[in-house]
Structure formats: C-alpha cells, structure tokens
Amino acid sequence: MAANALARVLDKRAHPLQLQGDTFKLSTSFDENFLHGNFYGDLRPDQLLRRELAGHLRNSWPNRRLVVPGSLPFWATEAAHFLGLTSQNSKIELHLPANWLHLLIDSFFTDLIFTNFALETIDCRNEERHLLTLSRRQEETATECLLSDNSRRSLELGLDHNQAASRLLCALELPSQLFGLFTDQQLVLLTETGGEALHPQALVCYSQRSLGKQLWEMRTQAPIPDTAERLLAEGKEINWLVPEVSCLKELNGQLFTKDLSTDDLELDVRLTQLLGLPTDVPNIKVKTTTKDATVTKQVNRNLTDEILRLLEIEGIPHFPQTYLYRQATGPLNNYNFTPPLKLCQELLGQYVLEDAKGQSLKVTGEETKEALLLASVLGLRSLEIPIDRQQTAEMLDSYRQDLLKLQETIARLCLLHVEQSTAAHRLRRKLWQQLPLPPLKWLSS
C-alpha cells in the first residue's frame, strides 16, 4: 500500500476515494481504472424520487433514456449510475445482494451490464452477497462462476443481453447434471430453437412434465400459460429452458403411442431417459419471496380492466383514421385486400404484395408498402392513404411516435399498480395485445 501511495505521488495522481452514502453525489466520470462498489438495501423509491433518479441516469448514461420502475430497488439505480460513470477498460467489482439476478433480470440494469460490460467472474460463495468482477468493454468472453459449494463453472454468455442474463441464471441455478446438458446444447433457451419449428403440442407436453415446470419456475413466478400459443410466446419472452427440438418431438410422439400409459410419472421418466439423465437428479431450488406471491394476486382481471379504461380516456391512436384527419390534405389511394399481406418482390422502390387469396398489389414507395403491411397486421381489409407519399411517411412516423408514448404510459400505469418487475412486464404485454395495436416489434422495425 505504501508503494502504491508513493507511486501516485510521483505520478501526480489522486489518491483513491472512498464514498459512503449517496452515490448520486458523483456526477463526473471516474479517472480510476479499478473501482469497487457495495450496494444493498430494501428501499423502493416513490414516484417523485424516481423522476429525480431518472435525471441522474441521463447524466451517467446520456445515450439512453432510462425509466425507473417502482419495482426497482434504490440500490439498483445507484449501481447503474455508478457503472455509467466508469471509463473504458475499467475493472469494476460490484457487491450485490444474492437475489440480484432474480430481481433485475427483466430490468434495464441487466441490459446495461450485458450490453456494455464483460462479466469476468461472479463469486457466490457468500449466500447473502454476490461479488461480480466486470470490465467496461463489450466482447464475448467466458464468465467464471464460483458457487456456494466451491465448485466452478465457466460459460460464454454471448452478446445478446436478454439471453446473457438467462444463461447466467442457468449457470448459477441448475444442478450439475442439468448444467452439463445445457453446455452440451441438449437443453437450450427457447429463443435459440427457432420455436416455429416446434409443434405447439410438444411444448405443452413438456410444460406438464416435472422438469418443464421446475425450469419455468426457475425463471418466473408466473403460472404456466394454458394455451399452446401463449406458452410459446411467453416461453420465448422469459427464455424458457427446453430440450432440443428432436427430443421434444420424440417426447410428444410418445404421449400419443397407443401402448404407452399417459401416467405423469411414467412420462417424467421417459423424459429423463431421452435426456440421458439419472432418475435421482436433485430438484432445482426455486427462489421465491412472499412479495412475489402477493404481486401475482394483484395482476387480476379488475386491474387489467381499470388500466384499459384509463388508456381509453387518454386516447388510443388508430391508423389510418386519426392521421388522415390530422395530416392528409390531398387525394387518396384506396386499397382492398384480404389479410395477411406478404411481401413477394421488391426492386428499385417498386413492391409486389400478395394477400391471403393470392391477389397481388403492385405499389410504389417504401412508405406505401409499410402502410399496407401495417394495415394487414392490424386486421384491416381496406386502406386509404394519401397519393402524396411524403404525407404517408409523416403519418407512419406520427403513429410510431404516438405508440412509443402509449408504451410509456402503459409501463407507468403497470408499475404504479404492480411492484414486481416481472409481473408488471407481463401485464404490460397483455394490455398491449388486448388493444387494437400492431405487435411491439413493429415499433423497432
């Protein structure tokens, strides 16, 4: 330590700074290459404080517009601010509560970490606290996990922040036999399977097996959906861990074999045989809290109806009606079709679309093509848009901006009524699907 202090004096560098208390007192980037932060507490900021915290985050993350949800603990916002002030190639140690990943897996905190930092090691030997070692650089590198039983695991998390968080959860939570299947890609995240190749019934069959239920509960406290369509959609959303496609299909096929009893226990045994697992694989320890259970009860039909009522009062944008009234000033083109439309050909600004009956629509301009495809996903059978393509482009842009504002309003209302982030996120998606709106992915297209 004395040698380090002398070196700092000779190099005219400042001595290390220790700060205890309000992290938001820091507003300029750190010059240090090594930083250590220790964050903890149970405080959930109120609405007024959340607005203030969002202002601090605009300073530390100027290229991001971060909204602080009511479910996010105060320490997580502090840690995000701290990370935003680090410089390139910094080495950072974060001491966080042991349940940090379960709490924050669907929040902007994990987005920031896995998008901007390389997680080098995570030490979980202390059951109350985890020690994360990060570098401020985005590159694919293996993460070393030191578990509570002193065993070690190494895993490449990848650069997709959603998958990275789920892959880390697998490394920390799965029993050794299941983790071996995961690294051998016999168990994969549903988003990695190209879920469209799966027969929906195969997923339903898997969701009824003990292993499928445990791996669902490892990721979320939400109940397993009761329809194949919702199961696929929500399974992708939470990065559910499932057997690789051929194993799922074989399990599903055996369910309908005439000479095979459909007894649950027998099918559970069949699944372990297909995966090459011993029958005594330990159960996954699912981390739950009383607060999570309370939140699940809050997300009920009455709450959904009330938020939908509030949204109707604030106004739901409708395409193209709202924007024809506001922005169209000249003659209109009228198109009739049977949805869905699909793009068949494009060349030098000329597009050919085909509807469900095989009728072809030949149009000019990307904005015309986009407006027709949007009308198709909205379930419209006819569309009137200006002949002036610039006006159509302005209508699309206005609609997209209005939807972004609506998305923020829905998020605010959900987080106002639901404390736990996973439940609030699920409610937000449910509300969006119940409104006459395009899929969320259209907003980023």
pLDDT at 290: 38
Q: Is the pLDDT of residue 21 over 50?
A: yes
Alpha-helical (H) ranges within 35-160 are 47-60, 74-84, 100-104, 108-116
Range of weakest confidence among 40-54, 72-86, 111-125: 40-54
Give the residue among 37, 35, 40, 41 at the shortest CA–CA distance from 16: 35
Output 209 or 11, whichever has higher pLDDT: 209
Give the residue among 40, 105, 45, 96 at the shortest CA–CA distance from 292: 105
Q: In b/e form, how buried is each residue of 108-146, taking b as 16+ CB within 10 angstroms?
A: bbbbbbbebbbbebbbbeeeebbbbbbbbeeeeeebbbb
pLDDT tens digits for range 350-376: 999 999 999 999 999 999 999 999 999
Q: Is the pLDDT of residue 222 over 90?
A: no
Percent of the chain with pLDDT over 70: 83
Mean pLDDT, all residues of the chain:
82
pLDDT at 9: 54
Neighbours of 209 (CB within 10 A): 19
pLDDT at 291: 41
Average pLDDT over residues 30-44: 81
CA dihedral 109, 410, 233, 243 (to 10 degrees): 20
Q: Is the pLDDT of residue 323 over 80?
A: yes
Q: Is the pLDDT of residue 431 over 80?
A: yes
Range of weakest confidence among 28-32, 143-147, 242-246: 28-32
Helix (H), strand (E) counts: the chain: 18, 13
The answer to whether residues 364 and 375 touch, using CB atoms and an 8 Å cutoff, is no
Most confident of 209-213, 402-406, 414-418: 402-406
pLDDT at 363: 94
Average pLDDT over residues 293-305: 53
pLDDT tens digits for range 152-189: 999 998 878 888 999 999 999 999 889 999 999 889 89
Q: What angle do CA 38, 41, 47 make, to 5 degrees?
A: 120
The answer to whether residues 208 and 190 touch, using CB atoms and an 8 Å cutoff, is no
Average pLDDT over residues 417-445: 82
The answer to whether residues 428 and 414 touch, using CB atoms and an 8 Å cutoff, is yes
SS3 state at 344? strand
pLDDT band at 200 (very low <50, low <70, confident <90, very high): confident
Average pLDDT over residues 49-60: 89
Give the residue among 52, 51, 116, 45 at the shortest CA–CA distance from 76: 45
- CA-based torsion, 50, 108, 56, 39: positive or negative: positive
> Strands 350-354 and 360-364: what pairing?
antiparallel
Most confident of 129-133, 227-231, 321-325: 129-133
The 8-class DSSP code of residue 439 comes to -
pLDDT tens digits for range 381-396: 999 999 999 999 999 9
The answer to whether residues 396 and 370 touch, using CB atoms and an 8 Å cutoff, is yes
Instruction: Give the span between the Cα atoms of 344 and 145, in whole angstroms.
Output: 48
pLDDT at 227: 85
Q: Is the pLDDT of residue 3 over 70?
A: no
pLDDT at 144: 92
**DSSP of 362-431, one letter per residue?**
EEESHHHHHHHHHHHHTT-SEEEEESSHHHHHHHHHHHHHHHHHHHHHHHHHHHHH--SHHHHHHHHHHH
pLDDT at 292: 39
The 8-class DSSP code of residue 121 comes to E
Output 384 or 291, whichever has higher pLDDT: 384
pLDDT tens digits for range 138-153: 666 789 999 988 899 9
Q: Residue 114 is encoded by which pair of tokens?
A: 């896995």
Give the residue among 227, 222, 216, 209 at the shortest CA–CA distance from 273: 209
pLDDT at 293: 38
pLDDT band at 281 (very low <50, low <70, confident <90, very high): low
Strand partners, 386: 332
- Strands of the sheet with 118-123, listed across from one edge: 34-38, 91-97, 129-135, 118-123, 142-146, 152-156
Judging by beta carbons within 10 Å of its beta carbon (0-12, 13-18, 19+), is residue 213 exposed, middle or buried? middle
pTM across the whole model:
0.60
pLDDT at 294: 38
Average pLDDT over residues 290-298: 39
Average pLDDT over residues 81-92: 88
